[in-house]
Amino acid sequence: MFNALVIDKNGEQTTALKSVDQSLLHEGDVVIDIAYSTLNYKDALAICHKPGVVKQWPMIPGIDFAGVVKSSSHSRFKAGDAVLLNGYGVGEKHTGGLAQQARVNGDWLVPLPENLSLKQSMAIGTAGYTSMLCVLALEKQGVTPESGPILVTGAAGGVGSIAISILSKLGYNVTAVSGRLEQESYLRNLGANAVLPRCEFEGEAKPLSKEKYAGVVDVAGSNILANAIAQTQYGGVVTACGLAAGMDLPTSVAPFILRGVKLIGIDSVMAPMEQRLEAWQRLTVDLELSMLDDVIQCIPLSGVQEVAKQLLHGQVRGRVIVDVNA
């Protein structure tokens, strides 16, 4: 028996911390004793019973985790190996990481990178891994520190916080956008050169605005993304990885056909293993690991439901990691 956060649906959805056994876990060829998971925006949506995330019940939420292999019939992994997982539908279609054990397809697992502890890997988590995918996309499209400033929306959240830290260490000039200007000192400590209020990006976007940014890391969507696109300079690159402000995109073709702006979607869930390994290797080099203590709070499984509500209300700064054995 082990502890797990379980979402079930018998008429209405319920979420409860329960003692369960492996019969609740979905099929896989590797069983992991989990050390840490995280609480992401998608997890919070599921835990608070917002529609569209959980595809079947009962479900253990948690879109990522890190731990040690308990047993394996997969050729790449053996008992005692330290591993991590991001995405692949865990916590949505396949039982996830907010539990003391998981059973998954070994093809989904990433060996824990050298120089990272299990706790550090989840302090980075899916948010940091997604941030790195955004940075890699900017680089591969030729955006360099000399190209111009980079705009990061949702800057005080998990993706934004780590994106700022990475970009700053790489020498980029970073402008942070946040709805919580009381976090300005936090954002500047991460490396932001300027901090702008979210309200400047929430209104209806013009087809084109003054060219300001060589690149964008956007977690918001909707008007915020539309305004960011309108302010992207000629040949600039916009990476989109979230929908915190909405799934719509009220823009026009003008930035794309008159300025050659590129809009690149970043999917962390089903990204090929080659990209995952590259992102995690770069994170060990390009992220200042000492900053992780400043961007995380660590909670037990019993605290997840309350913090999930806070996360959906924009009351959480940085990253939330879950010590599933606390």
pLDDT at 53 over 90: no
Residue 246 zone, left/alpha/beta (φ > 0; ψ -120 to 50; rest): left
- One domain for residues 54 and 104: yes
Domain range for 53: 2-112+292-323
The per-residue pLDDT for range 172-212, each reduced to its tens digit, is 999 999 998 899 999 999 999 999 999 999 999 999 999 99
Residue 197 zone, left/alpha/beta (φ > 0; ψ -120 to 50; rest): beta
From the list 134, 142, 210, 217, the residue with the least C-alpha distance to 174 is 217
* Peptide bond connecting 61 to the previous residue in cis, omega within 30 degrees of 0: no
- One domain for residues 160 and 231: yes
- One domain for residues 72 and 149: no
The confidence band for 225, taking pLDDT boundaries of 50, 70 and 90, is very high
pLDDT at 290 over 90: no
- One domain for residues 47 and 171: no
| Burial of 229 per CB tally in 10 Å (0-12, 13-18, 19+) | buried
The model's pTM is: 0.92
* pLDDT recorded at residue 215: 98
d(CA 12, CA 57): 12
The per-residue pLDDT for range 15-47, each reduced to its tens digit, is 999 999 999 999 999 999 999 999 988 999 999
- One domain for residues 88 and 129: no
Place of tokens 């919580």: 180
d(CA 38, CA 27): 22
- One domain for residues 208 and 99: no
Cβ neighbors of 280 (< 8 A, separation 6 or more) are 84, 110, 113, 129, 132
List the beta bridge partners of residue 264. 239
- One domain for residues 108 and 129: no
Provide mean pLDDT across the span 150-165. 94
The per-residue pLDDT for range 244-286, each reduced to its tens digit, is 899 999 999 999 999 999 999 999 999 999 999 999 999 999 9
DSSP H helices in 113-253: 118-140, 158-169, 184-190, 222-230
- One domain for residues 172 and 216: yes
* pLDDT recorded at residue 317: 84
* pLDDT recorded at residue 245: 92
- One domain for residues 133 and 27: no
d(CA 44, CA 312): 7
* pLDDT recorded at residue 318: 84
Question: Which CATH number does the domain housing residue 85 bear?
Answer: 3.90.180.10
CA 99: distance to chain centroid? 19
d(CA 266, CA 288): 23
Quick check: is 101 in a domain?
yes
The per-residue pLDDT for range 70-120, each reduced to its tens digit, is 999 999 999 999 999 999 999 999 999 999 999 999 999 999 999 999 999
Quick check: is 203 in a domain?
yes
From the list 231, 224, 176, 187, the residue with the least C-alpha distance to 208 is 231
> Do residues 136 and 278 make contact, with C-beta atoms less than 8 angstroms apart?
yes
Provide mean pLDDT across the span 152-173. 95
> What is residue 235's DSSP assignment?
E
Quick check: is 175 in a domain?
yes
| Backbone φ, ψ for residue 38 (5° rounding) | -140, 170
Number of domains the chain contains: 2
Q: Which of 230, 247, 265 is the last residue of a domain?
A: 265
Quick check: is 306 in a domain?
yes
* pLDDT recorded at residue 66: 98
Quick check: is 13 in a domain?
yes
From the list 66, 110, 60, 112, the residue with the least C-alpha distance to 90 is 60
Q: Which of 265, 282, 314 is the last residue of a domain?
A: 265
